[in-house]
Amino acid sequence: MPEPVLLLLGGTTLAAQLARAAAAFDVSVIYSLAGRTVPGPVPGVDVRRGGFGGAEALADYLRQKNVFAVVDATHAYAARISENARLACQMADRPLLRLQAPPWREMPGDRWLQVPDISAARDVAAHTALRVFVSTGRQAMAEFADDRRCWWLARVIAPGADLPILSNGQYLYARGPFQQADEVSLLREHRISALISKNAGGLATYAKIAAARDLGLPVVMIARPDAAAAPLVETVDDACDWLQNCIG
Ligand code: NAP
């Protein structure tokens, strides 16, 4: 029987922080990423990349690797992997914890336009502004590729063949965390008149929201999908406490 393993589903700043913290525990850690971007090394942690092949395959993986617990620290909008994790842990009878940053809250000075999904965000932005900053992730870019109603400035982590050409826009490549002053400069430099954002929560990408407030710009904010039912913590410290309890 292989030694007990903690499976950490990642792809977020909190997940990377937990991976580093979990390396200090006396357990093996597998840090799992979808595989679209190349992660930085995490000392003492095995990194795996790519999907498992659905919930049943993930349940098999939990049994084969002798996973004793799963922490789902994926992004709030990565609904499929979270639901798969919930189902797989149910099937394999493993404890599951959800680690997720709480959503940002609208503050005085913010001008948020709440929308249900990416298509609605694109259409609302097109009725609101001429030059729009989009930071909703590379999978959403197909929505903007042929839409010439606005000029789209799309920020993604890295270039890749999966990114469609924007017929009226350009890509920027950068990995957070970002600083508010830099975001203000970026929005000014490109004469941006609205932003489209997911409500990621956390600090790493909040600077653009604060920058929009500074400049009085509207933010078209896409609602979070329904969360898969699982015990939830919002900090790495709380996740470590849970892990300590699991280890006993
Ligand atoms: P998703 O729609 O929920 O998942 C699609 C499929 O990708 C899953 O069914 C699974 O494939 C695989 N997958 C996703 N996360 C995985 C992980 N951590 N380890 C192994 N396989 C994973 O997810 P998504 O929205 O494409 O997000 C993919 C990754 O990017 C996640 O790690 C997420 O945390 C990160 N991310 C997402 C967003 C966002 O806005 N959605 C933003 C920032 C970061 P199988 O079914 O084959 O197992």
Q: Which fold has domain 112-222?
A: Rossmann fold (3.40.50)
Tens digits of residue pLDDT in 189-241 = 999 999 999 999 999 999 999 999 999 999 999 999 988 789 999 999 999 99
> How far is the centre of ligand 1, averaged over its atoms, from the C-alpha of 174 (Å)?
19
Q: At which residue do the structure tokens 């990621």 appear?
A: 200
pLDDT attached to residue 51: 97
- Backbone angles phi and psi of 131, in degrees to 5: -130, 120
- pLDDT for the residue numbered 171: 98
> In this model, does residue 24 exceed pLDDT 90?
no
Helix, strand counts (H, E) of the chain: 8, 12
Report pLDDT digits (tens) over 101-126: 999 999 999 999 999 999 999 999 99
Is 129 exposed, middle or buried (CB count within 10 Å of its CB: 0-12, 13-18, 19+)? Answer: buried
**Does ligand 1 come within 6 angstroms of the Cβ of 145?**
no
pLDDT band with cut points at 50, 70 and 90 for residue 86: very high
Is there a shared CATH topology between the 5-102+226-247 domain and the 112-222 domain? yes
The pLDDT score that the predictor gives to residue 35 is 86
* Ligand 1 binding pocket includes 74 (Cβ within 6 Å): yes
Q: What are the domain boundaries of the chain?
A: 5-102+226-247, 112-222
CA of 108 to the centre of ligand 1 (A): 33
Regarding the domain delimited by 5-102+226-247, which CATH topology (the fold level of the hierarchy) does it fall under?
Rossmann fold (3.40.50)
The predicted pLDDT at position 228 comes to 77
The finding on whether 79 has its CB within 6 A of some atom of ligand 1 is: yes
Pick from 185, 245, 246, 240: which is nearest to 211 by CA? 185
Q: For the whole model, what pTM was predicted? A: 0.91
Closest Cα to atom 30 of ligand 1: 11
The values of phi and psi at residue 64, to 5°, are -65, -40
